Structure formats: structure tokens, C-alpha cells
A and B are shown apart, each in its own frame.
Chain A
Amino acid sequence: MTITEFPGTEDQLGFGLGLRTPHYSDILEGSPNVDWFEIISENFMIPGGQPLRILDRIAERYPIVMHGVSMSIASTAPMDFDYLGELKTLAERVNPRWISDHLCWTGVHGVNLHDLLPVPYTDEALDHISRRIGIVQDFLGRPLTIENVSSYVTFKSSEMTEWDFLNELTRRTDCRLLLDVNNVFVSAFNHGFDAGEFLDAIEPGRVIQFHLAGHEDNGTYIVDTHDHPIREEVWDLYAHAVARFGPVATLIERDDNIPPLAELIEELDRARAVAGAQLSQESPDRLARAAV
């Protein structure tokens, strides 16, 4: 499997939104200016009923990306092949452009904590997660896309930076990266590293999607809540990301305090404008950054 230098240019999805229940009727009755939708896979891993029928109708009109929260790729618990089977069944139904989940674990010993829990950046974890990504990619018959999470603690046992860990993971497995720009910002603030340094260290050519979202600033730490508009600092970081990685598919995530669709489309239009400004400015600058 080969990865093109700028997958975003190969498969330009443009600017998308997370598909959320309150917007179903606006999407089906209008033609909102959204290029594609991302679904939370687990919300549709159900036997049938109205949500799946609505998804079928939306998938007829828009490209779909599947984004999961339960793969628990970093867990030391056994791989859940029932989960993977249901994920594959859903993928056969909606024909997603790609399937993503997070670089995290969600529980061990038969318990699910339903959170995206942090990983120590060790060689042991790298070996373990690489092996599991390989298993998933073989099972699904397609590359997996991995997202960086927001974290609130780190571990003394870490032997490398998060960006070195991600780069090595993609080298070993050929998986793709979903770069959550807000998560980079949140983790950088919480752990005291430079968010720009993170972006500049990630190898270009691996990143096929960006996430943008809002967060909650508690003064001494930031929590990734997806219940606010995107903050100015994250817009700045997004411009930096576009300059480095090019026209990568961009998605705004809103999971709580969900505003009317039109309000999210205004944010999406801002993402279009920010990306457009970066991409029209320069290819030399982008290529220079990409070459770093």
C-alpha cells in the first residue's frame, strides 16, 4: 500500500461536519453547504430503525467517513473481533472514504470506561499498538486512520514525544493520521510543549484529515469538551496545519451544546476561508514547511 505525498489533493473531501441527530431534518430537507459528513460509528452499529435509514439517505448524497470511539487500539485487553465485525458490516453499508479511531485505550479486564485514555510513549506500547493496528487493517481490508487525543496527564515511563510516537506508528503500519488540531492545542497547553513544534514534526503525507473543535479553558488546564465554538488560538494553529499539510479534509466536531446547523456552517465557512488564504498564499512556504 502506498501513500501519496499529499493524500488531501488526491481525495479532496473538502469541509465536513459531524453528523448529529438535531440536524437530520435540515440536512435531508435542504442542501446545506457541507461537503461531507463524519459519523460516530458506534451510533449506527445497531440492528435497524430510523437512524440507519436516515444514514442511508444521507450517504446517497454526501461522502461519509466513519469515526469510532471504542476500538481501544492501545488496550492490553484482547482485540474485540465482534466489534470489528460490526464495524466492517457498517462499512459495507455506508462505504466510507476511511475509518478512524483514536490512539488510546478505553478499558481493561472486561470493563469499558468510555473515555479516550492516554498512552505512555514507550517502545513497548509502540510494538503493542503497531501489532494491533496491523490486525485491524488486515481484518477490515483497508488502512486505519488514527487520531491524536487530548490528554491531561503524561507518564514517567514515556521514552519519546507524542509526535515521534505517531511518526513511528505510521511508518511501521502505514496507517493514516487524523490530526485533531484542537487536541494538539489542548495537550500542548496541559503538558507545556509547543503546539507548532508538534505540527512541524509530524511527517507530511500521512495526514488525511483534520479535526477542529471547541474546548473548555479552566485557566490552569484545558478540557476537550466539543461544546464551544472553535477558539481563536485553534484557528491560528489550523492555519499552521494547512500551511504544512496542504488541502487536507477538514471536519468540525460538535458533540454537546449543539447549535443550529447554520451556525456550524458559518464555522465551516471560516475553515474554508482560513484554508483558502493559506493555500493561495504560497506553495513555496508550504513546500518549505513540508520539507522540514
Chain B
Amino acid sequence: MDDLASLQARFQNALLADDDAILSDIPASPREDKDVLLGVYKTAYGARLMDVLVTDYPNLHAWLGDEQMAEMAIAYIADHPSEYRSARWFGRKLPDFLRRHEIYSEHEELADLADLELALIDVFDEADFEPLSMAGLASLSPEQWPELTLAPAPSVRRLDMTTNAAEIWLALAEETEPPRPRLLDEAEAVLVFRQDVTAMFRPLPREEAMMWDSAVTGTRFGILCGLVASHGGEDDAAVRAAGYLQNWVASGILAA
């Protein structure tokens, strides 16, 4: 298998590193130079991966524009040869790449936008599940309520945004003028989820974010009410906690 293995390694190197040693394995072709024909594979490689990024990150693309998106994609493709069996996963490391990159990291809204778009894809494809229903909660006795624990649906992602990327994303999605990028004084909690068949997101108010983050670690409802009380005051704390819970159930973001 040595000949086949070494030939495949040389061929791969032509696509990844533009190393044309493989040309010595390729005979002349009747109608076209062999380096042009090898170029068909090289071009297709870059174009295919570029296409994945443009498809997965439509509003990052809109934000950057064609030229800068292409430049960024070329840098990412060079830095991250795909290790995935399906090209659909190729763009998964883009948010991390943007956070680490010398230039792109200075524009923090880029990684936040990428995080948001990746989460929207993830929740769309996540496993189906049995959602927690109002009827399920209604059957609880008063003694059971404090002991209730909640499980997030698999199709939920919780992000913290350091920039106004969520606002930028919405403007781009609606094709209106996006706001200037800015760092927020305090990170914004965002919940990305699938409702019925649509992937969506919403910012979480601080108190709700705190309750959600505690709830998904298995904290009992009685203690969650205590946390809400300590955050926003004891008056009507249980009502506020129940309100958040009701909203989560209505949104289908808790599993039964």
C-alpha cells in the first residue's frame, strides 16, 4: 500500500500547501496542461470550504462584505484544514479563530457574531426531545414544588456577548442599517433555542439569566426562588421565578 499512500499524501499536499510534487505522477493530458487540470482540484478545495463558511455565517458575511469575508475565510482555511467527515462542521472553530487572530481579535463583535450564528445552526440540528409541559407542572403537589429540578432542552445554547453583536445581527437580518460595534459595559446573556422548527435567540435579563444558569446545573426550584429573592428583592420573588419558568415552558426550552 506504500505507493498508494505516498501518492495520496503528495496529492493532498498539492491542495493544502500548493506543493506540486504530485505533477510528476500525472501524465500529460490530451487537451489541457496538467497543472491547469490539477488546479481544478485546488480551486474546488478552497471554493467548497469558502461556501461552507458563507452559508453558515450569513450575517458575519454581510457585516464583513464579500472582500473581507473572502480574506478571512482564506486565513481560516489555511489555519484549519478540515478534520471533519462532513464539510457541514468545517466552520465550527471560526469563533475561536476570530478570538485568537491577531487582527480579527481586535474587532470583538466578529467572534460574538460567529458564536451566535454557530449556536443558531447547532440548535436547529439538535436531537429531538420531549418538552416539559404546563400539564406536567400542574400535576405537582405544593410539597413537590421546592424539590423540582429542571433540565434544559438539548436544543438550547447560552451565550455571553461582550459586544452589541446581537443588535448588529438583528439589523443585518432585517437588512436595516446596523449600529456601530461597541463593547458592552457588562456582558449580555443570550439564550439561543429552537421553538418548534425555528432557531431563534433572545437576550436574558440579568435576574432571569442567573436563575437559568443555576437551574441548568440541577438547582432545586425552592433554592432558585431564594436566589431570585436575593437578587431582585423578596417581594413577589416566587411570582417572578414562576413567571420565568412559565416562559421557558412556553418556549419549549426545558426537557420533560
Taking Cβ atoms with an 8 Å cutoff, the residues of A that contact B are 42-43, 45-53, 70, 75-76, 80, 82-83, 105, 107-115, 117, 120, 122, 124-125, 128, 152-157, 189-192, 220-221, 223
Contact = CB atoms under 8 A, between A and B. Distances in A.
B48 A48 contact: no
Contact of B30 (A46, A52, A111, A191): A191
B25 A190 contact: no
Contact of B38 (A82, A115, A152): A152
A128 B197 contact: no
Contacts of A111: 12, 16, 81-83
Interface residues of B, number: 47
A250 to B, nearest CB: 26
Nearest to A51: B125
B104 interface: no
Contacts of B3: 120, 122, 124, 157
A50 B197 contact: yes
6 contacts: A50-B197, A76-B5, A76-B8, A124-B3, A157-B25, A221-B29
Task: Please classify the interface of chain B as helix (H, G, I), strand (E, B), loop, or mixed, using the class held by over half of its residues.
Answer: helix
Interface stretch (B39-47, B94-102, B248-256): B39-47
Nearest to A41: B86
A124 B4 contact: yes
B88 A112 contact: no
A187 to B, nearest CB: 11
B38 A190 contact: no
Contacts of A190: 29, 31-32, 37
A264 B154 CA distance: 37
B204 interface: no
Contacts, number: 136
Given A114-B49, A114-B87, A223-B40, A49 B124 contact: yes
A219 B226 CA distance: 74
A152 B32 CA distance: 10
A45 B126 contact: no
Contact of A192 (B30, B34, B127): B30
Given A111-B12, A122-B3, A153-B26, 18 more contacts: A49-B124, A76-B1, A80-B85, A107-B12, A109-B12, A112-B84, A113-B12, A115-B15, A120-B3, A120-B4, A120-B7, A153-B34, A155-B26, A190-B32, A191-B30, A192-B29, A220-B31, A221-B36
Contacts of A75: 8
Contacts of A47: 125-127, 154
A152 B40 contact: yes
